Structure 1
Amino acid sequence: MDQGTNLPHEGDADPTEPTDCCKVGRVALAFDVTEAVTQLARDRRSGDSYRTLAEQFNKDLIESALERADIESDRSIHAALVGDDIATEVYRLFRTDSDSDVRRAEVRARLSDAGVDVDRLESALVSHVTIRSHLTECVTVEVDESPPSFERTVNTTQWAHTRASNVIQSTLDRAVDHGHLRTGPLEAELSVRVTCTVCGDSFYLTDLLDQRRCSCHHDR
């Protein structure tokens, strides 16, 4: 992780730069997760709670920090954590008291040894109150009380698909670079299938979004 990039102080905010209007914008710039800020507004308009938004934003920050430090290739980190999703596990350790102080200290030490500025990362995490302030005072996002448009459904699923594909691709690339996978350059393709639990019709996601119905509603 690039430890030379320091978080700006509260007094450094430039009111003419909306992405630097508060802590949310500043840490997004510092950790290169500006797309996560845009997604905050989308998800809030769709009705997601501030707590849910804060949790996802914080995981995005952690994931970015871990990617910079190339944590995926560090086997000692995997050994210290329980789940496969390292970002989620690190966030849980930062935010809950369910683990012992000894285990929390062990993970922090291993992250630090791998190049993560743990104190800086932990101080960058935001509360749901901070998210609420950003969305109500900086960008003035209000919940859309009407049902989400089909266009929004398409855009959100495309965003999620692209994000998942990028994570898989970058993880495989690092595995090849570090010799964990002995292959040539790999290209990941992510296909999503969805199935109606009533009629059993199964679709690739793109086909469902084009067809927009299953056999249950074929004649309606």
Structure 2
Amino acid sequence: MSTNQGNSRRKSKIERVIENYGLDGFGDTLARRWTDPKDGDSLRDLADLMNQEVLNAVLRDADADVLNGEVENMYGLLTDDDTTEGMRVQAKNTLQSKGIDVDQLLTDFVSHQAVYTYLTDIRGVSKESKSTNRVDSVVQSIQKLRGRLVAVIERSLDSLRNTNKLQLGDFDVLVDTQVYCRDCGTQYEVIQLLKQGRCDCDTKTNSE
């Protein structure tokens, strides 16, 4: 490989991944979605989005039939902290059976720090500072975690049922997280509490 002395800057990981996986134009997508003044994506969301595009690219190159939602599900099995080791190994074996180098794939997954470095240092873009509703952000994080937990439980129960380790009919998984205030003795569902903005401490204090 020849080097150009006039342009010796080493490519960032994001640039290398975009080039190696044929993600032409994806740099523009990252910059546009991060700086959207109305609803810009977080750096972690952008890293997940890019990694799913990488996974989709290797599946496409392997001529694998990809169903709707399969890439997102497979990515979750490979990266989610809630995924059991057995399920992760099964996901890796599935990819390896399609001729995919899983170790290289995981190495090429990018972090939110890599996305930030690329956007600020390489693309020269910045996210406009704006007041954000911290409560809404926490609500979204909790809902996302709930969704991941429900998905993991559903997959685990399905696996046990399909291998005759569990007898279970058609089912739904419900996740209910309660917050109990020891001072005022009230209990709220966590999302309800966040949207309400307070427990009953002030109410009970004022009534005394």
Q: TM-score range by the shorter chain?
A: 0.5 to 0.7
* TM-score, normalised by the number of residues in structure 1: 0.51
Aligned twin of 2:79:
95
| Post-superposition offset of 1:16 | 3.5
Alignment counterpart, residue 45 of structure 2, candidates 39, 52, 55? 52
Q: Look at both structures and tell me which one has the larger radius of gyration over its CA atoms.
A: 2
Aligned to 1:63: 56
Q: Is the 8 A contact 2:55 2:75 kept in 1?
A: yes
Structure showing greater relative contact order (alpha-carbon pairs closer than 8 Å, 6 or more residues apart): 1
Aligned to 1:26: 16
How far is the alpha carbon of 1:97 from its aligned partner? 2.7
Contact conserved, 2:35 with 2:128, CA < 8 A, in 1? yes
Percent of aligned positions with the same letter in both sequences? Answer: 26
Which ranges of structure 1 fall in alignment gaps of 5 or more residues? Answer: 1-11, 79-83, 147-220
* 58-67 vs 94-103, which moves further: 94-103
Q: Which residue of 1 aligns with 2:7?
A: 16
- Return the letter of the residue paired with 2:65: E
Aligned match of 2:119: 135
CA RMSD of aligned residues (A): 2.9
* C-alpha separation in 2, matches of 1:49 and 1:13: 35
Within 5 A, what are the aligned runs for 1:1-220?
16=7, 21-46=11-36, 47-72=40-65, 84-144=68-128
Aligned residues: 126
> How far has the Cα of 1:14 moved from its partner?
8.9
| Maintained 8 Å contact 1:15/1:21 | no
More off after superposition, 103-112 vs 125-134: 103-112
Deviations 1:53-72 (A, max 9, x none): 11111111111111111221
Q: Post-superposition shift, 1:103?
A: 1.8
Q: Which structure 2 segments of 5+ residues have no match?
A: 131-208
Secondary structure at 2:7 match in 1: coil
TM-score under structure 2 length normalisation: 0.54
Counterpart CA distance in 2 for 1:132 and 1:124 is 16
Give the AA of the match of 1:35.
Answer: G
CA distance in 2, matches of 1:32, 1:145: 32
In structure 1, distance between residues paired with 2:126 and 2:63: 37
Change (3 A) 1:14 1:51: farther
Give the superposition deviation at 1:110: 1.6
Query: Does the residue aligned with 1:34 lie in a helix, a strand or coil?
Result: coil
Give the Cα–Cα distance (whole angstroms) in 1 for the partners of residues 5 and 57 of structure 2: 24
Classify 1:31/1:17 alpha carbon distance in 2 versus 1 (closer, same or farther; 3 Å): farther
TM superposition shift of 1:98: 2.0
